[in-house]
Structure 1
Amino acid sequence: MTAHTSPAPEGRIAWLDLVRALSIVLVVLYHVGAGAGNLLLPADSTTAGQRWASLNLMLAPVRMPLFFMVSGMLAVRAVHRPWRAVVRPRLLDFAWPYLLWSALFAVTAWTRYAPLDPAGYMWDQVKVTLTAMGPYWFIAVLPVFFLVARCGRRRPRLLLAIAAAVYVAAWPLRALMLEVEAIPALAAEGMFRCTIYAVWYIAGYVLRDRIIARAERAHLAHGLVAAGLFLAVTLLRQEGGGGVLADRVLLAAATLSGLAAAVVLATRVVRIGAVARGGRWLGSRTLAIYLIHPLVINVAVVWYGHSALGEALRGSTLADVLLVPAVTLLAVLVAVAGHEIVARCGLGGVFAAPRRRRREDTGASVQR
Structure 2
Amino acid sequence: MAWPDIGRGLSILGVVLLHASTSIPAESSTIIQPLNEALTPVRLPLFFLISGYFSGKVLRQSLSELCVKRLWFFLVPYLVWASVDIVQSAAASTAMQSTGALTFAAWGDRVLQGITVYWFFQMLVVANLFLWLTRRLNTFFVLIASLAPLLLLAQEQMVPDWQFKIMVFVPIFMLGARGKDLVTVIADFSHHPLVATGLIAMGVLIEARYRVFRGLSSDGALFDPMVLGPAVIDQNDVNILVEFIYRLALIPTAVAVAVVVSKLPGITTFVQFLGRNTLVFYIGHPLGMFAFMHLFTVRGIDFEPHLNLWFLLQLAMCLTGCAAVYFLSMVPVAGWIVAPPPIAKFFPRLRGAGAATPTTAAAGAPATRTSTTTG
Question: TM-score range, shorter-chain basis?
Answer: 0.7 to 0.9
SS in structure 1 at match of 2:250:
helix
Relative to structure 1, the CA distance from residue 209 to residue 326 in structure 2 (aligned partners, 3 Å threshold; closer, same or farther) is: farther
Q: When the two structures are superposed, what TM-score results if normalisation uses the length of structure 2?
A: 0.73
CA contact (8 A) 2:167 2:244 kept: no
Gaps of 5+ in 2: 224-234, 347-375
SS in structure 2 at match of 1:240:
helix
Cα displacement (A) at 1:25: 2.2
Aligned residue pairs, count: 321
Relative to structure 1, the CA distance from residue 232 to residue 325 in structure 2 (aligned partners, 3 Å threshold; closer, same or farther) is: farther
Q: When the two structures are superposed, what TM-score results if normalisation uses the length of structure 1?
A: 0.74
What residue is the counterpart of 1:363 in the other structure? none
Relative to structure 1, the CA distance from residue 126 to residue 294 in structure 2 (aligned partners, 3 Å threshold; closer, same or farther) is: farther
More helix by share: 1
Pairing 1:193–2:165 present: yes
Pairing 1:107–2:87 present: yes
Pairing 1:166–2:149 present: yes
What residue is the counterpart of 2:72 in the other structure? 92
- What is the alpha-carbon distance in structure 2 between the residues aligned to residue 124 and residue 214 of structure 1? 44
**1:303-331 CA deviation, whole Å, 9 max, x = no partner?**
24589xx77x7513xx33x5435533541
Cα displacement (A) at 1:266: 1.1
Given the alignment, which residue of 22, 43, 46 partners 1:66? 46
AA paired with 1:224?
A: I
Pairing 1:335–2:322 present: yes
Given the alignment, which residue of 251, 256, 281 partners 2:243? 251
Relative to structure 1, the CA distance from residue 29 to residue 165 in structure 2 (aligned partners, 3 Å threshold; closer, same or farther) is: same
Gaps of 5+ in 1: 1-12, 180-184, 359-368
Pairing 1:135–2:123 present: no
CA contact (8 A) 1:14 1:279 kept: no
- What is the alpha-carbon distance in structure 2 between the residues aligned to residue 192 and residue 247 of structure 1? 11
- What is the alpha-carbon distance in structure 2 between the residues aligned to residue 56 and residue 227 of structure 1? 16
Cα displacement (A) at 1:72: 0.7
Relative to structure 1, the CA distance from residue 279 to residue 56 in structure 2 (aligned partners, 3 Å threshold; closer, same or farther) is: closer
AA paired with 2:134?
A: G
- What is the alpha-carbon distance in structure 1 between the residues aligned to residue 312 and residue 213 of structure 2? 26
Given the alignment, which residue of 180, 183, 205 partners 1:229? 205
What residue is the counterpart of 2:186 in the other structure? 214
- What is the alpha-carbon distance in structure 1 between the residues aligned to residue 169 and residue 152 of structure 2? 10
CA contact (8 A) 1:18 1:270 kept: yes
Superposition CA RMSD, Å? 3.4
AA paired with 2:162?
A: G
Percent identity of equivalent pairs: 21
AA paired with 1:194?
A: I
Relative to structure 1, the CA distance from residue 76 to residue 342 in structure 2 (aligned partners, 3 Å threshold; closer, same or farther) is: same
What residue is the counterpart of 1:361 in the other structure? none
- What is the alpha-carbon distance in structure 2 between the residues aligned to residue 29 and residue 16 of structure 1? 20
What residue is the counterpart of 1:20 in the other structure? 8
Matched ranges for 1:1-368 at <5 A = 13-34=1-22, 36-38=23-25, 48=29, 63-83=43-63, 85-115=65-95, 116-117=98-99, 119-120=101-102, 124-154=106-136, 155-167=138-150, 169-172=151-154, 175-176=155-156, 178=157, 188-218=160-190, 219-241=195-217, 242-243=222-223, 244=235, 247=239, 250-305=242-297, 314-316=304-306, 319-320=307-308, 323-324=310-311, 327-328=314-315, 330-345=317-332, 347-354=334-341
Cα displacement (A) at 1:248: 5.1
CA contact (8 A) 1:110 1:121 kept: no
- What is the alpha-carbon distance in structure 2 between the residues aligned to residue 267 and residue 200 of structure 1? 19
Relative to structure 1, the CA distance from residue 227 to residue 148 in structure 2 (aligned partners, 3 Å threshold; closer, same or farther) is: same
AA paired with 1:232?
A: A
- What is the alpha-carbon distance in structure 2 between the residues aligned to residue 101 and residue 144 of structure 1? 18
Cα displacement (A) at 1:250: 4.0
- What is the alpha-carbon distance in structure 2 between the residues aligned to residue 295 and residue 123 of structure 1? 24
- What is the alpha-carbon distance in structure 1 between the residues aligned to residue 38 and residue 276 of structure 2? 27
CA contact (8 A) 2:49 2:176 kept: yes
